[in-house]
Structure 1
Amino acid sequence: MFCLKKIATLGLIFAATALTGCGGGGGGGGGTTGGGSVPQPAGWVSGVFSAASTFKNQCQTVRTGVDIEGNAYPDRAGTELAEKNWLRSWTRETYLWNTEVTDTNPANGGTRTEYFATLKTLALTASGAPKDQFHFSEPTTEYLARRNAVASASYGAEFAILSGSVPRDVRVLYTDPNSPAEEMAGGQKKLIRGTQILRVNGIDLVNGGSTEAEINILNNGLFPPATGVTTTMEVRDPGTTTTRTITLTAQNLSAKAVNRTRVLPDGAGGKIGYVLFNTFSPNASEAELAGAMTTMRNEGVRDMVLDLRYNGGGLLAVASQLSYMVAGDARTTNRNFESLRFNALAGSRNPVTGQANNPVPFYTTGLGFSLAQGTALPTLNLPRVFVLTTDATCSASEAVINGLRGIGVEVVQIGGRTCGKPYGFYPQDNCGETYYTIQFQGVNHAGFGDYADGFVPANAATSTGVKIAGCSANDDLTRELGDSTEGLLRAAIGYATTGACPTPPPVATSAIQSGAFSSRNAGGSLRLEAPEKGIMDTNRDMTMR
């Protein structure tokens, strides 16, 4: 399955997708999925479907009380077969590729989640990747925790596992401001970008960890299970041969959306703005972005670099706001940021909400996430923008690229292929499990949305993906993000000044590995790997409240 685990999160969970009126919360259903209690049909007939509302909230295990948002659970007594019948009909009504799903009898056995796993297309993209890489479900309690940006145990740093097998290689991607990772020790920050982790609580991370117990010590040290956990690490910073020992104590931390901003000389007498923007969620992202763009406007920047290399998505409305702030009024007036294409059965209506399928505009004011409703947003009125990307740049981040290109703003891509997710879904709770099934494709004002193999810089040596202006470059862990000599940012500044890509290209770093806890590689040795990220870290979040 696609990049849900591509980046190892050091205790940070990015809050993501939800939708008012489409069942994102503890059971609130959208237009076609609500409903009363109707007797189940006598048996299954291939190709014949009852309305999903026939089976909604008829649960084998009934929840009582309210969820963490204060919403009463809508559950009624039912069966697992009713839950699976709901999944079957809900897929037929709302799944984007509903005609490509093999219709099987839900009574044939298997759990509700096992049955759900079969309700998707098996088609491939031009590159040979699965067309649907995002089919997923999780307990609703976990979904709601991320939706509400529940703080989690963290040191405030993000790790990349460059090699999970001996000799292992774990580096720091970035740290959050005012976090334990940025505390000072011996005259320097405890962790910086590119710092390599050598030992954790006495265990040799690089060549040790020969038992399951030692691997668990390493995992729990890197990804603390609870606040107050104190971990000792031996580390080595990039460009040095000496080591140092640090101690970190996990705190309850939420994701920082705008991690850092810079205003830099562009080499031609002007200023270029830089914003490291790591998630369109939680809700604080709205105010943080507006603040960053106000700074850029006041500084009079004439070029803008959006660093979305680790941004997996989030609130689509905030993606629209960001795009408006870059492009300004003249380029966005009477134009749409994104329109949603549903399956053929939907017609002109949204099959999830039951409402008219109206396009997403370029939002020009605050929407009430963390900025007061109606607050005017600052604008830069730029004809082009630089976007720094990796394969962790996904969904709402890609929507910014596509949305701006749809209105004629030049997007210059610096880095690597994006993840390739022009699709989205409305998370839907039923009986304590929240399901994610692809329900729409996002297209820009020009009607384009076919980038399932990602956006790719024009000089990339590949025949797949949508090629746009820019330079291919690998993630550079030898410099801090926002440093003008860091590989991707250096390439952007160079292109802004000369219109050409750097020669030679920035130095490559190893690919980020992914996996599950304590798995074994082909050679049989224990492998250090990061916990999975949530599915909603790579989705368009349609929330409008």
Structure 2
Amino acid sequence: MKIKFASIAIATLLLSACGGGGGSSSTPKQNINPPPVNNGPDAPVWTEGEFLGASGFKNYCEAPRSGNGFSDVDGTSMHEKMWIRSWSNETYLWYDEIADVDPTNYEVLAYFDTQKTTDTTSSGKPKDQFHFTYDTEEWEQLSQSGVVYGYGIEWAIISPTVPRKAVVVFTEPDTEARTKNITRGSELIEIDGIDFVNTNSQSDVNAINAALFPEELNQSHTFKFRAVDGEEFTVTMSSASIETSPVLTTKVIDTPTGNVGYMQFNSFIAPAEEQLYHSFGEFKQNNVTDLVLDLRYNSGGLLYMASQLGYMIAGDNTNGSLFYRFKFNDKINSEVIPYSTTTYGFADGFQAGLTLPTLNLNRVFILTTDSTCSASEAVMNGLLGSDVEVIQIGGTTCGKPYGFTGEDNCGTTYFTIQFSGDNAMGFGDYADGFSAINSSNPFADPNALVEGCEVSDDYSKPLGDVSERLLSTALSYRNNGSCPVQPVGAPANYQRATFSNQKMIKDNRISTLLRSNIIRGM
């Protein structure tokens, strides 16, 4: 069985100077003056409307990898592009919406960007925002171990244009950022003496990008912050391999009406399975009667892990219903995911086949922002489809009812939307996200409104603090079943970047920390 991803929606944090911008156009464009490409005398020939099997082109590489475990053989860039074309035609959910353009004058990754729909949703955003590539070695490092280069800081972009504003969302344990007491809500002011807020010089922007998103180890940079209390401080940090902690915070909150579990869960990657297993075991031992699941920064990951999480929350209250029904294109047979009741052993060293602990809850409070995406939304939708009460506290989710299984070819892992999914009640159309029922979002889908309260993120308090806005609202709603009398802030109107390929990601120093904001110039 191939374990499917509901995508870690690789999102972007991009700096650009005046006149610049981030992301690719949603409409593919041919290069006006394309660089030379190695189509070669033995390269396959494109014929419009005729598709050979993708397997006939796979692993024929312009620059074959050598060593154990690789099946690469000598080929041309045209072999790689024809594989992309046939693979997209075979597996892309909307393959009949792809324009069959001649790949001859495209670079490989630029050609991949053409292999997607250009339609939009009812809100006007691209129907396909999740078409991207990753260097295979980097992807395996990130997805299997959660390792990225950096300082252990997760950022949020409050203002994407000059005057810019970026704040610390959280820091990872056992990192330099944590040891130097960089706390949530600290606002970035300067990097290496450069004015982060107001600079519009391209050279400054390039230097800031290089510091924020280091591509090598042991790069030293100096950061000036303003803390929540107004005090300014400066720290110097060196880039390191950061092993992210998917389950960052758990606690049991003692209330007069029973124990409430709180969990900040940031990513459905392989190491998370063991952390979830032990955390829910502790919740069960502490007789937790309600759960606040903080998914506000969780961009997704393994769908089968999402089914495990759903079971650990609801257990018997799922009533034997399915968790997720795949909807592929008409060339591929459908599949279903039941609620998983045992461990899969996703990460090396963690045993498969263990019975999962479950709280057997009939409701759950889920904290959200527009970075709540993919597998996180699948948890919400799956539980709603099993008639488990989901109470949403926070902003509208990102709107990704789609997924894919990454496919390596010639050292690049390609991600193209291959399926959507329905819950047990047959619902799965939430391309504009789930919204709390009191949402002010003008594009909120009436079918994707969820009980709960729309409130904005609160960077002034630590995550897990009972006075932090989202958690406080969840605890209040638990007691009285209503939202704050006055709306508690409006959710931030973040701008999502779209992008096409790994080259663009590398060239623009796009963050791999799964954020969804873009910094621009004027």
Give the TM-score normalised by structure 2.
Answer: 0.83
Q: Secondary structure at the match of 2:83?
A: helix
Q: Does 1:473 align with 2:475?
A: no
* Residue 341 of structure 2 is aligned to residue 364 of structure 1: yes
**Structure 2: which amino acid aligns with 1:368?**
G
Number of residue pairs matched by the alignment: 471
Work out whether residues 369 and 397 of structure 2, in 8 Å CA contact, stay in contact via their aligned partners in 1: yes
**Corresponding residue of 1:227:** 217
Q: 1:215 aligns with which of 184, 190, 205?
A: 205
Q: Is the 8 A contact 2:298 2:376 kept in 1?
A: yes
Is it true that 1:275 corresponds to 2:263 in the alignment? Answer: yes
Residues 95-106 of structure 1 mapped to structure 2, 5 A cutoff? 95-106=92-103
Shift of 1:532: 2.0
Instruction: Give secondary structure in 2 for the equivalent of 1:344.
Output: coil
Give the Cα–Cα distance (whole angstroms) in 1 for the partners of residues 374 and 266 of structure 2: 13
Letter in structure 1 aligned against 2:263:
V
C-alpha distance after superposition, 1:435-487 (max 9, x if no partner): 21111112212222111111111110234331111111111111111111111
**Residue 435 (structure 2) aligns with:** 456
Residue among 139, 149, 152 paired with 2:135: 139
1:388-409 deviations in Å (ceiling 9; x for gaps): 1111111111110011111111
Please give the alpha-carbon distance, in whole angstroms, between the structure 1 residues aligned to 2:236 and 2:250: 28
- Equivalent residues in 2 for 1:74-473, closer than 5 Å: 74-107=71-104, 109-149=105-145, 151-183=147-179, 190-207=181-198, 209=199, 211-238=201-228, 240-266=229-255, 268-281=256-269, 283-328=270-315, 330-332=316-318, 334-346=320-332, 348=333, 357-370=334-347, 371-461=350-440, 462-465=442-445, 466-473=448-455
Post-superposition offset of 1:114: 2.2
Change (3 A) 1:261 1:468: same
Q: Is the Cα contact below 8 Å between 2:456 and 2:490 reproduced in 1?
A: yes
Matched residue of 2:145: which SS? coil
Note the C-alpha offset of 1:95.
Answer: 1.0
Q: Structure 1: which 5+ residue stretches go unaligned?
A: 10-38, 185-189, 349-356, 517-528, 539-545
Measured in 1, the distance between the counterparts of 2:110 and 2:190 equals 39
CA distance in 1, matches of 2:143, 2:257: 44
Q: Please give the alpha-carbon distance, in whole angstroms, between the structure 1 residues aligned to 2:82 and 2:75.
A: 11
In 1, Cα distance between the equivalents of 2:397 and 2:174?
Answer: 30
CA distance in 2, matches of 1:313, 1:234: 32
**Separation in structure 1 between the aligned mates of residue 495 and residue 97 of structure 2, nearest angstrom:** 32
Shift of 1:511: 4.5
Q: Distance in 2 between matches of 1:4 and 1:488?
A: 25
Counterpart Cα distance in 1 of 2:221 and 2:395: 34
CA displacement at 1:4 relative to structure 2: 4.1
Distance 1:200 1:48, change over 3 A: closer
Structure 2: gaps spanning 5 or more residues: 1-7, 16-41, 499-506, 517-522
Q: Alpha-carbon deviations, 1:42-87, whole Å to 9, x = none? A: 761x433222222222223322213xxxx2x212222322322222
Of 421-430 and 97-106, deviating more is 97-106
Q: For residues 451 and 292 of structure 1, what CA distance do their matches in structure 2 show?
A: 30
Residue 249 of structure 2 contacts residue 263 of structure 2 at CA under 8 Å; is this kept in 1? yes
1:94 maps to a residue whose letter is T
Residues 7 and 273 of structure 1, relative CA distance in 2, 3 Å threshold:
farther
Query: What TM-score does the superposition give when structure 1 sets the normalisation length?
Result: 0.80
RMSD: 2.8
Structure 2 contact 146–245 (Cα < 8 Å) conserved? no
CA distance in 1, matches of 2:213, 2:46: 48
Determine what percentage of the aligned residue pairs are the same residue.
42
CA–CA separation in structure 2 for the residues paired with 1:142 and 1:230: 22
- SS of 2:284's equivalent in the other structure is helix
Give 3-state SS (helix, strand or coil) of 1:148's partner. helix
Provide the rounded CA distance (Å) in 2 between the counterparts of 1:440 and 1:515. Answer: 22
Measured after TM superposition, the shift of residue 201 of structure 1 is: 2.9
Match of 2:23 in 1: none
AA at the equivalent of 1:263: V
Contact (CA 8 Å) 2:11, 2:515: kept in 1 or not?
A: no
Residues 143-191 of structure 1, C-alpha deviation per residue, up to 9 Å, x if partnerless?
233233363333222122323544332211111223222225xxxxx21
Tell me what 1:187 maps to.
none
Contact 2:62 2:74 in 1 (8 A): yes
2:488 aligns with one of 506, 518, 524:
506
